[in-house]
Amino acid sequence: MKIKVKNLGALKQAEFTLGDLTIICGYNNTGKTYATYTLFGFLSTWRRMFAIKIKADKIKQLLADGVIRLDIQEYIKQSEQIVAKGCQAYTQELPKIFAARPERFKTTDFQVSLDIQNISLVKRFNREIASGEASLFSITKSEESTELVVTLLVEKEKVKIPRDILERIIADALKDIIFDQFLPNPFIASAERTGAAIFRKELNFARNRLLEEMGQADKNINPRELLLKVYQDYPLPVEKNVDFMGELETIYPESSFIAKNHSDVLTDFADIIGGKYTVTRNDQLYYEPRSKRIKLSMDESSSAVRSLLNIGFYLRHKAQVGDLLMVDEPEMNLHPENQRRIARLFAQLVNLGIKVFITTQSDYIIKELNTLIMLNHDKPHLKRIAQVEGYRQEELISSEKIKVYIAEKASIILDGKTKKTKCQTLTPANISPELGIEARSFDTTIETMNRIQEAIVWSEE
């Protein structure tokens, strides 16, 4: 999937391709978060933005005959147009995604390119729509088939679903079959996650108090509009973080595929936070430090523990193969050693089938990823180094799985010389299987610091 943007915050013109591990790095205020939030918003809303029209005669036939067969290939032929119109519709939604004034996005352009030529229809699809305990109709597709079969499961006289809703349910099934394979389910840990962790109870209280006010409000007030005022000043990723933090006790009994099949990943995560998160029988959330018989509330815990709270719950309770884990500045509040560990954790997740997208200003994370790339070769001396330094095979990663972009001023060549322009963009970084990632924004700063310190030490001579 390739994303193109114009006039998006600081980014005047940029494009990037989503890899198994995607990294955007660069200076402050260069557009990293804008790119992240825009991608998250699109992946969270594309089903609503994409429009597929089911012909009225098909719905009429379904109600008359009890079954219809739709040729999925007909809708695949329209897929490029569906995506293009969906991107236009999403661009109009950006003020809501960012909780910002519409004027800021008047000239913004957002486009997504999908590999439509490689649409796969091999998977089975089965969805049943019910009302209460009664099944109304089923939507199915067998393996390798190009037909979608919609079947009524009750007498047509008993079908109470309005035709427009029936059409939308069938269209949503087609969207999932055609586009879901390209558009991963996103989970985001925004930069505001530490505050959301410590104030989670207060945020829930504020929403509950608003619900009480709704019950006492004038009947002419739209309850939905009143409820939305809770979050109208926050971007969608922040809203999702707050919602997730409020559900931690509810999702605690659930187990992700990682918890079921890859407990070593959770062990590595526990090493990073130095303990574990627990929910007691009376639905109280605590952090339990390793080797200490105490329970700490979130406001008693370290900033690192709070910073990783929603990521920890996602990994243990919600993660699924094919997801996209998005983390804004994963290094936040972490010691350099734990920044290295989080890089290794991300590599493990990628190798397990979870895509990872991060923005970072951490040289430690980039350099640790470089180590994982450089050790990922079948050479005796590299295997020996990996063993001595404690690297496991599941932590090593191929350079082909990584996309890195530097948020910076665009470079142009004039008269044989490279010059910076005022146009902010995302520049792809070179990635070598032997040397890793070339992250210029970090290297320049480090080289400057080394030069100054060398001058201090050796200038007297």
HEC string of 360-427? ECCHHHHHHHHHHHHCCCCCHHHHHHHHHHCCCHHHCCCHHHEEEEEEEEEEEEECCEEEEEEEEEEE
pLDDT tens digits along 55-88: 999 999 998 888 999 999 999 999 999 999 999 9
What is the predicted pLDDT for the residue at 221? Answer: 54
- How far apart CA 432 and CA 416 sit, in angstroms, is 26
Is pLDDT of 226 > 60?
A: no
Structural contact between residues 46 and 52, judged by C-beta atoms closer than 8 angstroms: no
11 has which bridge partners?
8
Task: Identify the bridge partners of residue 105 per DSSP, sorted by sequence position.
Answer: none
Provide mean pLDDT across the span 11-39.
93
Share of the chain above pLDDT 70, in %: 87
136: alpha, beta or left? (left if phi > 0; alpha if psi -120 to 50): alpha
Instruction: For residue 100, give both structure tokens.
Output: 């910002």
**Whether residue 230 has pLDDT greater than 80:** no
pLDDT beyond 50 at 231: no
Residue 279: CB partners within 8 Å, gap ≥ 6? 248, 249, 252, 285, 286
Per-residue pLDDT, averaged over 11-24, amounts to 96
Q: What's the pLDDT score for residue 423?
A: 82
The whole domain housing 388 covers: 1-52+72-114+322-461
Q: Is the pLDDT of residue 90 over 50?
A: yes
pLDDT in tens, 361-417: 999 999 999 999 999 999 999 999 999 999 999 999 999 999 999 998 876 555 666
Task: Give domain status of residue 13, yes or no.
Answer: yes
63 and 154 Cβ atoms separated by less than 8 Å:
no
What digits encode the pLDDT tens for the residues 140-190?
Answer: 999 989 999 999 887 766 667 788 888 999 999 999 999 999 999 999 998
Residue 159: per-residue pLDDT: 65
Task: Report the distance separating Cα 232 and Cα 235, nearest Å.
Answer: 8
**If you search the block for the tokens 């400057």, which residue do you land on?**
448
Q: Which two tokens stand for residue 7?
A: 């006039």
- CATH (domain of 351): 3.40.50
Read off the pLDDT of each residue in 36-46 and give the average, rounded to a whole number.
97
Is residue 25 domain-resident? yes
Residue 330: inside a domain: yes
- Establish if 447 belongs to a structural domain: yes
The dihedral sign for the CA sequence 32, 35, 38, 43: negative
227: pLDDT strictly greater than 60: no
- C-alpha distances (whole Å) from 380 to each of 284, 387, 394 are 50, 11, 17
Number of structural domains in the chain: 1
Residue 116 φ/ψ region, left for φ over 0, alpha for ψ in the -120 to 50 degree band, beta for the rest? alpha
Element housing 14 (H / E)? strand 11-17
Would you say 97 and 41 are in contact if contact means Cβ atoms under 8 Å apart?
yes
Per-residue pLDDT for 199 more than 70?
A: no
- Report the interhelical angle of 200-216 vs 236-245 (nearest 10°): 100
Which helix (H) or strand (E) is 40 found in, with range?
helix 32-49
End-to-end CA distance of the chain: 56
Residue 36 lies in a domain: yes
Answer with the residue of higher pLDDT: 167 or 223. Answer: 167
The pLDDT tens digits for 100-151 are 999 999 999 999 999 988 888 989 999 998 877 778 889 999 998 999 999 9
For position 279, what pLDDT does the model report? 92
Where is average pLDDT lowest: 219-233, 272-286, 318-332, 342-356?
219-233
Per cent of the chain over pLDDT 90 is 65
**Contact between 407 and 26 (Cβ < 8 Å):** yes
Say if CB 55 and CB 36 are below 8 A apart.
no
> Taking 80 as the threshold, does the pLDDT of residue 201 lie above it?
no
Residue 233 gets which letter from DSSP? T
Q: Which amino acid is at 403?
A: K
Find out whether 391 and 372 touch, Cβ atoms under 8 Å: yes
Average pLDDT over residues 235-263: 91
- Could you tell me if residue 243 is inside a domain? no
d(CA 199, CA 61): 54
Q: Give domain status of residue 360, yes or no.
A: yes
Q: What is the pLDDT of residue 205?
A: 46
pLDDT exceeds cutoff 60 at 229: no
Any domain includes 87? yes
